[in-house]
Amino acid sequence: MNSKESRKIQLHDFNPGRDCFYAEVLSGLQKPQKELPCKYFYDKRGSLLYERIYALDEYYIPRTEACIMETYIEEIVELLGPRVLLIEYGSGNCAKTRILLNHLHDLAAYVPIDISLEQLLRVTKQLTSDYPGLEVLPVCTDYTSDFELPVPKQPSDHAAIYFPGSTIGNFEPMLAKLFLERIAAVGGPGGGLLIGVDLKKDQTLLHRAYNDPLGVTAAFNLNLLERINRELGCDFQRERFEHHAFYNPQEGRVEMHLVSLKDQTVHLDGVSIPFTQGESIWTESSYKYTLNEFGQMAAAAGLKVEHIWVDEQQWFSVQYLINPKGTTS
């Protein structure tokens, strides 16, 4: 909390910082299949590019999820219940969160959690202005790590985690189950989880969603290399890599890669990292589920699917899960 703004906002900062960023990048680039964690997409430019992706016609997820939320908001609010502590993992620009905030009039508090400090502070400032009666307690961290949740001034009946945008699809299925177990523990007995889950659908639609003709998704993917150059002193040449995204039907996921256009060597803090032409860096997975597949995963994590809402095309689902006994297995 170095700035006057962050003190006023009461930021809880657990950001892992440069050393963790460096270690994960170096480890990922030295694997046989090179990879980079998708959580590092979201520096200032990456966050702005992601907001542009949200506005693309081809990227159906945000508008479909928002439509579901708006259509069924009264049912959602009733299930969330009164005096709830709302905790959002990966809060981003909070666009869909406002649908909840506009209808949950007796929230104990709202805890937005995001790894992008600048965006988190900007959005928190907007929310505290737009909802003056709401206590907003921002947490800057990698939400897959261990961190302490802030304690609100007002008591709550229970906690509800909000995890929109199909971000659960970024996890490998076993890791997704473990993450759901962690959420079950955070919510505790009677806690809830409102989650967006993308559904399996026509592969052509998926291809368009991750390969938009304006190249915004490509710029978002390639920006990760620029961030690594800027913050870690690496020497990636962006023009020597290209964005490549495709649906893998055997694994049920969209994969995003950065493909090397030539034989080359990249240097990171004195470490040489060779690339052959056509070799890729795997930057993101986005798993798609059937309702039954996700329900089985949730049950294995100790969560019960209480209600499911889907759009007319059955492209996307918003689901409300509960932890009936407070167990994580």
Residues 6 or more apart in contact with residue 293 via CB below 8 angstroms = none
End-to-end CA distance of the chain: 37
In CATH terms, the superfamily for domain 61-202+289-322 is Vaccinia Virus protein VP39 (3.40.50.150)
pLDDT along the chain (329 residues), means of 10: 48 78 97 96 92 94 96 96 94 91 94 90 93 94 88 92 95 96 88 97 96 97 98 97 97 98 96 98 98 97 96 97 66
- Identify the pLDDT of residue 325: 67
CA 204 → CA 129, 247, 249, 313, distances in Å? 42, 9, 12, 15
Q: Can you read off the two tokens belonging to residue 194? A: 């409102």
- Identify the pLDDT of residue 5: 44
- Identify the pLDDT of residue 188: 85
CB 307, CB 187: distance < 8 Å: no
- Identify the pLDDT of residue 8: 59
Identify the CA nearest to 84 among candidates 113, 102, 109.
109
The domain limits of the chain are 33-57+203-287, 61-202+289-322
Amino acid identity of 25? V
- Identify the pLDDT of residue 118: 87
Q: What span, in angstroms and rounded, lies between the C-alpha atoms of 238 and 280? A: 13
- Identify the pLDDT of residue 244: 98
- Identify the pLDDT of residue 4: 41
- Identify the pLDDT of residue 117: 87
- Identify the pLDDT of residue 116: 86
E strand residue ranges, 11-157: 12-13, 84-89, 109-114, 139-140
